[in-house]
Structure 1
């Protein structure tokens, strides 16, 4: 009986130690204590993330980084993380949190922890006026491109494997959105898929007058905040942060500033949230 009690006590102490260790390792505690939040985001993806005329980070995601830092009583450090480097930057501890329009997928969730969506991008086909493309189905014989590791890349690769390659479609991956826009402008691509909000921003900028929207793509592109996979404390806090951004009306305010006066996209998929 005494041996059983000793074993039980040892197990309890081990579990308590593990919990204490987990708590001590939470980025949430470190951020609050250091009063510094390292927030990773893309700065080549307007209006979600870009550099303003003074070369300062700006955009929807950048504003969410700043809002999160304010809620934590911390100073924000915006760390530019190009699309392919988003998850590696978090895993290697170069950033504390990733707010970069990152789609939560099952494969990515093996590596990082995702909150519920904080943004929802309706995806559209963007092409040039002379291509003759009017809808998504027209892409099955065209030159397509996207950013390496981005959700549209996964969609195009699925379509190619499913039969588009046999009808002449090709795919090219690029390191950044800016490079894919330039490739489309130069005729190296026939079409890309981007969010309706991003297309609106490009249209307003006047940089690409030859670009037109050609229908909606069959792609749900929700974006979630990502933290270290095992940091449950920070993940729980980030979920509450998103909830407060929504219920306070802050999301609507930020969305209107960067995406215009269109309808505020739902953060649910067919009434299901997580």
Structure 2
């Protein structure tokens, strides 16, 4: 299961955005979900290993396992709703999903639209590229080409630190940026440690990490005003950090322990 094999799955998720209207929905409660007997959780299916589609066409990955654990904790059935990066917050706001376990990075801008739990996962963004290219810090980007996924966290991070003379090439998604790196179209990209692991498995010894841009923490999102639901989810995350369940899921999908900056957050 590689990044490249699952990019096509975004088409299925995007098609679902054409369904129900996008009017605002009221705040959600735990009791409403429990009385219904089903929780609808929005999840990306194009961001391995957090979100993928398995061989049977079903959502899978780190976020899927966290969603399953949350539904089990609530004592309800799980309905995973595939979402895309652009439509995941509108799906939540319009009531098409109850929560998002969708690799959603916590940011001040997003916190104006949704309420976030304490972090349940996280990634680190790096400048990454050809081993022959010497780049030790932001100043070394001057005069160089670097690719990023358009409007992504890495796009924002690279744009913020790039000196005059840096040529930032923006691609539609991570897969396109990676293909540009592999083909030699760009010598550097801004990319997460998750995607780096995929690249290193595909093309070992050709590329290396240059320097870290930022750490991004990801939260489970609920609709604004859903205080009781948010408190429940915060407690869920804290309990399953403490009992090791989230670490077990992380090791299963990322072959590494839950990062310290996530494991220790919220304590």
State how 1:33-44 maps to structure 2 within 5 Å: 33-44=35-46
Select 1:250's aligned residue among 241, 245, 249: 245
Distance in 2, Cα, partners of 1:143 & 1:150: 17
Aligned counterpart in structure 2 of residue 26 of structure 1, from 16, 25, 28: 28
TM-score by length of 2: 0.79
- 1:74 aligned residue: 76
Is the contact made by 1:104 and 1:223 (CA closer than 8 Å) also made in structure 2? yes
CA distance 1:222–1:211, change in 2 (3 Å): farther
Deviations 1:238-266 (A, max 9, x none): 101101110110011011111114x5312
CA distance in 1 between partners of 2:254 and 2:83 (Å): 22
How many residues in Structure 1 have an aligned counterpart in Structure 2? Answer: 241
Aligned partner (choices 150, 159, 184) of residue 157 of structure 1: 159
CA deviation after TM superposition for structure 1 residue 129, in Å: 4.9
Q: CA deviation at 1:95?
A: 1.6
Alignment of 1:241 with 2:243, yes or no, is no
After superposition, the Cα gap between the structure-2 partners of 1:84 and 1:146, relative to the gap in structure 1 and judged at 3 Å, is farther
1:120 aligns with 2:116: no
> Aligned with 1:116: secondary structure?
coil
SS at match of 2:86: helix
Distance 2:53 2:205 in 1: 23
Q: Cα gap change, 1:47/1:152 in structure 2, threshold over 3 Å: closer, same or farther?
A: same
- What is the aligned counterpart of 1:266 among 255, 260, 263? 260
Asked if 1 retains the 8 angstrom alpha-carbon contact of 2:120 and 2:220, the reply is yes
Secondary structure of 2:49's counterpart equals coil
- 1:185 aligns with 182
Secondary structure at the counterpart of residue 218 of structure 1: strand
Give unmatched runs, 5+ long, in structure 2. Answer: 1-25
Structure 2 residue matching 1:197: 3-state secondary structure: helix
Normalised TM-score (structure 1): 0.77
| Farther off after superposition, 250-259 or 80-89 | 80-89
| Aligned-CA RMSD value | 2.6
> Partner of 1:12 in structure 2?
none
The structure where helix makes up a greater share of residues is: 1
Stretches of structure 1 lacking an aligned partner (at least 5 in a row):
1-23
CA positional deviation for 1:120: 2.2
User: Is residue 231 of structure 1 aligned with residue 226 of structure 2?
Assistant: yes
CA contact (8 A) 2:148 2:154 kept: yes
Aligned to 2:166: 168
Counterpart-to-counterpart distance in 2, 1:140 and 1:83: 30
Tell me the secondary structure at the aligned position of residue 102 of structure 2: strand
Identify if the C-alpha distance between structure 1 residues 142 and 81 changes in structure 2 by more than 3 Å, giving closer, same or farther: farther
Contact kept in structure 2, 1:133 and 1:139, CA below 8 Å: no
Q: Find out whether 1:220 has 2:215 as its counterpart.
A: yes
